[in-house]
Amino acid sequence: MAIASPYEQYKATSILTCSPLERVILLYKKSIELLDKSIEEFDAGNLFEFGENIKKACKIIEYLLSVLDMEKGGEIAKNLSDIYDFSLLTLTASNTGNDKEGVRRVRHILKGLLEAWEAIKEYEQERTAG
């Protein structure tokens, strides 16, 4: 087993010790980063890497889908579930059809959701500080 670099150890510790809200934000940021890389790889003609980055982003979205609490989350959880399902279907079709427009569409959706989660975090911080 390889020894992780201090940076990798720090990153893993920060992910494990952050709040659930911060973890969701980190996952959105990582999925958007992967979709950005996917588009870059497509533009460079690297279709294998295009697909690999899409697969990694899909894993994150699948995880986000799996941790939704449909009972407590109500309509919001249902709507997120629908968005995640749409995103997974679109990314899978984009991967098999070498279509970067579908990747852009999902990236745009995730970016909007990220902004919403960041606004919630900001509100929570203001509420607990004041």
Tens-place pLDDT, residues 62-88: 999 999 999 999 999 999 999 999 999
pLDDT in the model for residue 65 = 97
Q: Which two tokens stand for residue 63?
A: 């995880």
The per-residue pLDDT for range 106-124, each reduced to its tens digit, is 999 999 999 999 999 999 9
Contact 58, 88 (CB under 8 A): yes
Other C-beta atoms closer than 10 Å to the C-beta of 15 total: 13
CATH 3.40.630.10 fits 20-129, yes or no: no
pLDDT value at position 18? 83
DSSP designation for 5: P
Distances (CA, A) of 50 to 16, 17, 93: 29, 31, 13
What is the residue type of 31? S
Rounded to two decimals, the pTM is 0.87
Which residues contact residue 107 at a Cβ distance below 8 angstroms, ignoring those fewer than 6 apart? 32, 35, 36, 39
